[in-house]
Structure 1
Amino acid sequence: TLEEKKEIAKRYLVPRQIKENGLSKKYIKFTTAAITKIIGQYTREAGVRNLERNIGAICRRIAVDVAKGKKGLVVIDEKKVEEILGPPRYIEEGKEKKPEVGVATGLAWTPVGGEILFVEATKMKGRKSLTLTGQLGDVMQESAKAALSYVRSKAEEFGIDPEFFDKYDIHIHVPAGAIPKDGPSAGITMTVALVSLLTEKPVLSDVAMSGEITLRGRVLPVGGIKEKVLAAKRAGIKKVILPKENKKDLHDVPERVRRGLKFVFVERIEEALPHAIKGWKA
């Protein structure tokens, strides 16, 4: 996780690279913000090899300056990181700035940690067509189809025209199309995006969610809860909707990460809608 990598960098990687490059603490100091920036914007890995490589590159640059006669302590902050390593290689997603119709925020697990992802849904005149884009894997495509079938089955209850699928084509897109995505945990996010689209009610921008769904609207447990919650915290999310059966997994999340986040645990989609969609009445 990000927190674990920061601790490893502070305790081991930075001191080792300072020593290996013939420096000492009187010449160079890394801020926590600088380390966080290197982890989040210059590396994408499960381990810390590239993290140490980037720290080493910074130390070598300072060692060259010292060899040329430059004196004094150099504080490596976020600005200095970018000056030495160049523009960020990876940009972390942040939450949407305002509630939008048809756009819901999901939480995903990746081998290099948790990330937020956006599910966008739109409609256009047509007849019974569902288009899925964003390089979605088979399981994720099945989740989208299940979400649409569930929404169709609940159309009248949700105040949606039961004939909407006879009049419109539906398109679901998950941005960052160059990155393959799969797994069932975006089911709840896709469902919320579709309900928002078809009721024309916006999804709250500071809410993120994760959970597998069934055709009956049940929300099933998913993995990677610790990493997903960390991603929500980094993105500025205020409320996280999770399957009720995942409540036990919060014990793995540090208290400092949970602080400031509100968790809502649900067993059914209907329970999630009032927390996710602005103005939704249960």
Structure 2
Amino acid sequence: MSEIFKDMLCDSKLQGVLLLIDALDECSTGLNQLLDLITETSQLTSAKWLVSSRNWWQIEEQLCTVAQRLSLEVNASSVSTAVDSYIMVKVSRLSKLKGYKDDTASKVRQYLLSHAGGTFLWVALVCRELENTHRRKALQKIESFPTGLDAFYKRMMHQINGGEDAELCRQILALVATTYRPLSLAESTILIEECHGLADDLESLQDTISLCGSFLTIRKDIVYFVHQSAKDFLLSKEYTAFNQILPSGIAYQHHSIFSRSLEVLSKTLRRNIYELRAPGSSIKDISPPDPNPLASLKYSSTH
């Protein structure tokens, strides 16, 4: 596939090609091959790559021959200006959404400007919390947010541990942090025993996941971390969050997922589960029924 891709980029009729990769450091498999592809095609073709990544020495080392690189740390003032503009837009939208008075909007804006520390994600997470806060409590709420992502995550973890569904939230975080890919809502319900009764009520599961604060988000019924930094925080043994969600360790969590998968597969799978009339049907000719009895078993069947 890479050779076909390189041949496409070498086509003289193909002009003005711009390829974008965000968060290259989050590439979990094939990173070295991808870096080789970027380096080779940037030198042999007219294609241009726009790549963002955290400062990992492996990536820095392989991209050292690239002519143009921009360090956000070195250009902190430019980043800070962009974050300030982002804050102005977010507060303007919040004001319209929540009906803030001018004084409230001004104080929210000022707090964000003075505590953002040049971090887009921190601003986004704080504003997300404010969206779920009554306007009369907006100032009280925003002043409770500490500066910095790690401090923000610690606060969120403390809030989760003090909630009525603390144990369930910790189970959800442990599951999402250790599975090999993002799970669908349906897959999540069967891998957490307390959520098994929500298999036919995904809206309630969404509400439950929302209790996990600003660690998780749901897009098209798939559960993701809001950012790689959230997962890194939970899995770092430097913080108490690791022992809170994984008191017996990662290996034990994988064993629990494995055991739970065997249990639900044994209870759910049966001969001709799609009730096909012709057992010799090609898979291309089969349309899964709605609801699909295998939808929640995809992860368990694969991993």
State the TM-score, normalizing by the size of structure 2. Answer: 0.25
State the TM-score, normalizing by the size of structure 1. Answer: 0.26
The structure with the largest helix share of the pair is 2
Q: Which has the larger radius of gyration?
A: 2
Q: Which has the higher contact order (CA 8 A, sep 6+)?
A: 1
